């Protein structure tokens, strides 16, 4: 049955198909051809029903294939994989006329060693494998916010590998986890809202309770905080739903505006933005829903209350 440990890295490959190439070059130290872009290839190996986890083709600026990678997430030990991996490699090499690498994420060294022994024992096989195995602990953390923003899938993959010590067999001190927060937020900021929410849940799910609380507190200090599944985000959703039910009723619209004003002030308080009394009164007395929405949008990034209520 698919698990998050299997599916999340593959979701990140779908987000950025060049991720396996980065793993091969940056994590495993292999020399790889220069390329212009990477694209996912159909993972179904026909005519049988075999399906690889992720097959990636790397192309140059003229769209010619220069490299290919079979990227597998292998959580257990399976002799059958030795045969299917050969199919995946052969399929890519025959289809595109390039050498294809086999890059496999396994949970621990013991699993990698087991596969190496099984492959070494296949002395009579006409098709030998040369997989490049790596474990989560091999992947270095990405702490630079600019790098994370430029390559969000790489940053999330690398830092998720370093989050859950028990499940992913990484050795990261509790204090070190907090150092990853800025880069992870920078990476999340490049994603669409539904994907933000998914990876926010994934990050929190891999953190122990104390670190979860620190993560949520950190996120709420950023302009992105209210976009996540925090209590404030839930309140905003509830307000939107209440506004929809009250549409067409004057009393409901008035209450919706008042609640929006209160949420706006709550957001500013959470972000530590001081609100003078006259500005607070201006916000609470506003009867223009569009203006309140504009102010609310500004509140995510504004550094002063005056920036929020400034004239157009």
Check residues 131 and 32 and name the one with the higher pLDDT: 131
Check residues 233 and 184 and name the one with the higher pLDDT: 184
Check residues 102 and 311 and name the one with the higher pLDDT: 102
CA-based Rg of the chain, rounded to a whole angstrom? Answer: 25
Predicted confidence (pLDDT) at residue 171 exceeds the cutoff of 50:
no
CB–CB of 210/180 below 8 Å? no
SS3 call for 227: helix
C-alpha dihedral over 264, 186, 158, 212, to 10 degrees? -20
**Per residue in 247-292, pLDDT tens?**
545 555 666 677 778 888 888 888 888 989 988 898 888 888 788 8
Quick one: angle between helices 193-205 and 4-15, nearest 10? Answer: 150
Q: Which one, of 24, 29, 104, lies nearest residue 58 by Cα?
A: 24
Domain locations along the chain: 1-134, 137-225, 231-309
Q: What is the pLDDT of residue 266?
A: 82
Residues ≥6 apart with Cβ < 8 Å to 111: 74, 76, 77, 133
Q: What is the pLDDT of residue 72?
A: 95
Q: What is the pLDDT of residue 213?
A: 81
- The CA-based diameter of the chain, rounded to the nearest angstrom, is 84
DSSP 27: I
Second-level CATH architecture of 1-134: 3-Layer(aba) Sandwich (3.40)
Residues ≥6 apart with Cβ < 8 Å to 249: none
- Measured from the Cβ of residue 109, the count of other Cβ atoms closer than 10 Å reads 13
Q: Which one, of 194, 260, 269, lies nearest residue 227 by Cα?
A: 194
Q: Which one, of 223, 158, 232, 211, lies nearest residue 185 by Cα?
A: 223
Mean pLDDT for the chain overall: 82
Check residues 49 and 141 and name the one with the higher pLDDT: 141
The residue behind tokens 């010619």 is 64
CB–CB of 309/295 below 8 Å? yes
CB burial of residue 171 (10 Å; 0-12, 13-18, 19+): exposed
Find the DSSP H helices in the chain: 4-15, 19-22, 80-96, 109-120, 145-150, 152-161, 165-168, 174-179, 181-188, 193-205, 209-219, 231-246, 250-271, 277-284, 289-299, 305-309
- Rounded Cα distance between 237 and 259, Å, is 12
Torsions phi, psi of 163, nearest 5? -95, -55
Q: What is the pLDDT of residue 175?
A: 60
The tokens for 259 are: 């609640």
pTM summary value: 0.64
Q: What is the pLDDT of residue 228?
A: 45
Residues across the chain: 312
């Amino acid at each position: 049955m698919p698990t998050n440990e299997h599916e999340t890295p593959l979701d990140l490959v779908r987000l950025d198909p060049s991720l396996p190439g980065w793993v091969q070059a940056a994590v495993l130290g292999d020399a790889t051809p220069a390329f212009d872009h990477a694209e996912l290839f159909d993972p179904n190996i026909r005519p049988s029903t075999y399906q690889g986890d992720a097959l990636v083709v790397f192309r140059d600026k003229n769209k010619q294939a220069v490299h290919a990678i079979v990227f597998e997430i292998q959580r257990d030990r399976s002799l059958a994989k030795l045969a299917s991996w050969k199919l995946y490699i052969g399929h890519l090499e025959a289809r595109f006329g390039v050498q294809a690498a086999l890059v496999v994420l396994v949970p621990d060294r013991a699993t990698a060693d087991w596969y190496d022994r099984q492959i070494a024992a296949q002395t009579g096989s006409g098709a030998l494998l040369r997989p490049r195995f790596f474990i989560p602990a091999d992947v270095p953390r990405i702490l630079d916010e600019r790098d994370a923003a430029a390559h969000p899938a790489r940053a999330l993959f690398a830092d998720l590998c370093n989050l859950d010590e028990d499940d992913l067999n990484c050795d990261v001190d509790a204090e070190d986890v907090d150092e990853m927060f800025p880069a992870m937020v920078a990476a999340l900021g490049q994603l669409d809202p539904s994907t933000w929410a998914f990876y926010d849940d994934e990050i929190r799910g891999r953190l122990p309770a104390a670190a979860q609380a620190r993560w949520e507190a950190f996120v709420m200090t950023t302009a992105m905080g209210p976009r996540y599944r925090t209590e404030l985000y839930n309140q905003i959703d509830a307000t939107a739903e209440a506004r929809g039910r009250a549409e067409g009723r004057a009393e409901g619209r008035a209450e919706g505006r008042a609640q929006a004003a209160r949420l706006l002030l709550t957001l500013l308080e959470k972000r530590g933005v001081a609100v003078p009394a006259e500005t607070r009164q201006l916000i609470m007395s506003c009867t223009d829903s569009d203006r309140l929405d504009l102010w609310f949008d500004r509140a995510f990034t504004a550094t002063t209350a005056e920036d929020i209520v400034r004239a157009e």
